[in-house]
Amino acid sequence: MLDWAIAAAGLVYGGGIARARLGGTLAQSAYLSPAEAEASLDALAAAHPELARVERYGHSGEGRPLRALRIGRASAPARMLVSGQIHAGEFVAGFVARGVARGLLERAASGDVAIGALLERSQVVVAPLLNPDGAERVWRRNGWVGAGGLRHTAAGVDPNRNFPAVAVPGRRAWNSARSRRGAAYYRGPHPLSEPECRALARLAGRERFCAAINFHSFGAVVFRPSLEGIYASPDEDSLARAMEVFDGVFQAHQPHVPYRPVAERPAAITGQLDAYLLGAFGTPSVTVEVGKPGLAALKPSRVLNPFWLANPENPQRWADNDIEATVRSLTALLEATGGQAGRPRQPELAAY
């Protein structure tokens, strides 16, 4: 009898998977489509015209606009970057980045003195959708994409392996860039081959961000580029102080799950955004991997769908976990850096 019950349960479960594969959709989830996400930036700017404006900083491989919400007084001298969804399928990253923008603007509108002071001194550039072509593909296919599909641009390149880098001694990380087209971590034919990455590099060169926070998923960790070796700068204590924000201040304001800080040693030719910003412009930059997989990923409608391997069922829980931590960290980063980027470790990288 037990065998029959197990078999029946297996059939029901398998049927749920089949139905999801044939007709499942993300439209009933808590996530926004790429078009809805872009519209939300316009809505925020319209609701707070004195503090926010949407800017186009480039275009994608398929011609979609790359847009950012600039928050702060026009006279504010410092610049900070908050970005998300450089990997196509990491929708929760964009969800949290937009939440940070909303939190800054709503608190400023409510008369929050600390946020008002922050936005008088700095402009926070929030770019929550760095890979719109990839995001559109994932949404159109209801998340049923391969490992590369969760990461790639329209050209099949992992954009977080496409930035200029210098080979340095050390063991290659397991997820270092790959030169084989079709690989999930394919770095592209040459650095900045992707218009999305070129546009972001130009933006960084113009703005000279004093700090950058880049949201990804899924891991509940904060990756901090190591300051060892080519990144060492003993004369710039502010850089070390900025990195320490993510080993204390950030976690102290995460009510659900404090993320574990992880120092990443330089690996050979990874082409990651954090190392590029640090090396080319002296910008302390970290990757925040939002949230953890939960048991909801085992539901029949989700168990085999790659989308749910990269995104939690309830993104708002993780936004609640990370927004205040990010806002507090921006304030601490401004103090640690004095609003200035550090001395570039590898200025030759900015010449691309």
Q: What's the 3-state SS for 206-237?
A: HHCCCEEEEEEECCCEEEEECCCHHHCCCCCH
- CATH architecture group of domain 33-351: 3-Layer(aba) Sandwich (3.40)
Please give the backbone phi and psi of residue 258, each rounded to the nearest 5 degrees, phi first: -70, 130
- What DSSP designation does 80 have? E
Residues in the chain: 352
**How many alpha carbons fall within 13 Å on the CB side of residue 18?**
6
* Residue-level pLDDT at 8: 41
* Residue-level pLDDT at 171: 57
**What value does the mean pLDDT of the chain take?**
88
107 neighbors 151 (Cβ within 8 angstroms): no
Question: N- to C-terminal Cα distance for the chain?
Answer: 68
Q: What's the 3-state SS for 101-142?
A: HHHHHHHHHCCCHHHHHHHHHEEEEEECCCCHHHHHHHHHCC
Query: What are the average pLDDT values for consecutive 10-residue runs of the chain, which has 352 residues?
Result: 46 43 73 97 98 98 98 97 98 98 98 97 98 98 93 98 79 73 95 98 97 95 80 66 94 97 75 92 95 67 84 95 98 96 87 76
Strand arrangement of the beta sheet that strand 78-84 belongs to: 52-59, 65-71, 122-127, 78-84, 211-217, 285-290, 221-225, 260-264
Strands 285-290 and 221-225, by their bridges, are antiparallel
* 125-159 pLDDT, tens digit each: 999 999 999 999 999 999 999 889 999 999 999 99
SS3 72: coil
**How many alpha carbons fall within 13 Å on the CB side of residue 192?**
12
* Residue-level pLDDT at 352: 73
Domain ranges of the chain: 33-351
* Residue-level pLDDT at 9: 41
* Residue-level pLDDT at 51: 97
Contacts of 333 (CB under 8 A, 6+ apart): 80, 210, 211, 242, 245, 284
230 neighbors 336 (Cβ within 8 angstroms): no
270 neighbors 167 (Cβ within 8 angstroms): no
* Residue-level pLDDT at 173: 57
Alpha carbons 262 and 330: distance in angstroms, whole number: 19
* Residue-level pLDDT at 19: 44
The amino acid at residue 279 is G
* Residue-level pLDDT at 11: 42
Read off the tokens for 233: 């700068």
